[in-house]
Amino acid sequence: MAMSGVKPSEACMTTYNDLQKSKKHRYVIFMIKDEKMIDVEKIGERNSGYNDYLTDLKQKDGESDDCRYGLYDYDYIYSPDGAESINRSKIFLMSWCPDTSRIKKKMLYSASFETLQKAFVGVHKVIQANDDSDLEQTTVEEQLRANDRN
């Protein structure tokens, strides 16, 4: 995959560390500005939920659906067989490029996603989402739980 030359801003890195290390935020939405820079668009407070995330993720570009990247610190309960339940937290990085968004946008976001993945060391799961079914919380949680079965 050719790199697009789009780079994450310093704010991206700072915000990622705040979420990953300090647990300051629940989620972060990133957008590509001027086809040059990935930047922080919105930060979800720690008490925000998954529906808040979806609302902030699903933006419009005029009449068309738009693309975004989302980072989410997801909490859930893991119940191993015959053992006590454990609270788990996993961070996923999502590329939201709906099929209904503009081709040029999709190409730009797809080409730049790898750069963000490389920058955000420590993300547990990378998710490509292209329609609403990919965004469903049950679908996402399933992917996060997939590595739990030891």
| Domain 7-145 is found in CATH 3.90.1150.10 | no
Separation of alpha carbons 67 and 57, rounded Å: 8
Q: Which one has a higher pLDDT value, 2 or 41?
A: 41
How many angstroms separate the CA atoms of 129 and 135, rounded? 6
Q: What is the pLDDT of residues 34-93, one digit of tens each?
A: 999 999 999 999 999 999 999 999 999 999 999 999 999 999 999 888 889 999 999 999
Domain residue spans in the chain?
7-145
Distance of CA 50 to the CA centre of its chain: 11
Q: What's the chain's length in residues?
A: 150
**Position 1 pLDDT exceeds 50:** no
